[in-house]
Chains A and B, each alone.
Chain A
């Protein structure tokens, strides 16, 4: 496994952990599912620190990897970046469209126009940013494991 592939995995795990922990904290645990929030939080909290530890170790052991990044890594990174960017663009366009609609239909119930609240917009953008990072890393892992 090359250095960049290891870093893709660790970054994927850290992004996923942050999303899960953030969603549990902000939105809480769904009422219709038995409450495992404590266990899930603990699991992803530990995963996050394990991934950070591996990342630091890999960076420290840089000499073990004779070449840290080459042209194939750059190509795979570009493809990951492209997919992440597409997702981010689509999400921002959806947000702008919602804001535009909520300006026109001001008397509609707020539940429909979820993004009319600034706090909700912040949560949405934060989750979208992390998700686009997740998509970037997932794409990279796919190309490392399946394509090349």
Chain B
């Protein structure tokens, strides 16, 4: 059964009226810290994780500089350089992209489905603070030489505990999202009529609920073992062997599933028409979610392509299920979105540019991964894998830009400058290509992964590493530029109005910024595009 919530969180009011000065500030801070309003929780996720995004890209830049001259130039000590490689990944995945995408979904999905609040609002709030405490603990652990392979035992324990805490938080947030889409949709909104982004939140949230606990299981074993005898899991050096699958492909696809849904949603608005291939898009997002299988087996599925035909088939089928199905899903979403645009006269809006580019970047990373798991390419232990990761996760970062610029006006009431959104989106995409592409080449030249010094191979190795470093720098500039544009746009930009994009879904039927309870009246939905129904009188 589907129903609308009857009330929002008790302390979810948007302002603290009638107070002045420091007391008012304190009350406002307390209001934000204890709020169960999903829009505030989502915005806190986005704002807090943006610091993680900057930190992770800065680490990427520093690692690039470290590798530019593999012989003499050294920023980091040899014995802890490995920690910085995992720090880059942990921070980018769990400190930035995943929490920001979840934050956007928490802020937007309940309004999209016509609910007055998110399901288990306190659970979502707990998720936020648990994630924050966890990621701060992880960062402190890294600073104290406690990342995977670190030499400080107490700090390694802190790292494992922090990871566990942030995973608990993200699972709570994902459960809230999934239940909201399953249980809080407006009357008449069947799952087939749910907005594409809400569908993505359902599929992506479910994928997180299935895979993050598996990571949690590894962390619990490692924590218990590391804290005690260190007889089973390899101590501090074993940690990365047990959790590494969660920081590489195909598990990273699970973290950026929302990017696909975001493109599909925004493309529909850009086309100005109903999505004729809506069912195909829903299926495409679902097919891409088969990447959870990577989390289930927690290792790579490779293909040797040798021996008899039956040997080849025995290798090919599982390889294709694990590596090609997610690509098929992503390509389906991209293809259906492009089909929609070529059959109409599209009205390009700024957030569409980063939304499209993010999916292109993710798909490049997916193809790279499929290639690297063919044994005869011999790139499995090279920087080729790092290039895949860069494409997928920086693609996720560009998707965050798209999401913030598209739904930001509904959350903050003001628009970001069009040129800034498009400019930073294109810049981040170029930076992603520049950061990743040289490593695809260097991977074939056997530049080892996770090594910054003392390697050498035939070819212009300084040039590849220089280009990749330049790419990271460009991504950093793009992220900084986007944050600056968001800060100025959402504070001083032009007023957004309730429906700045001439969109189709319910979130644009409520004022901008959305009020505490989202809607004054519970709406009845008769199609997947309820606003388009009203605007066109049911035609189109």
The answer to whether A and B come from one shared complex is: no
Q: Give the interface of B toward A (CB within 8 A).
A: none
Residues in A lying within 8 Å of B, measured CB to CB: none
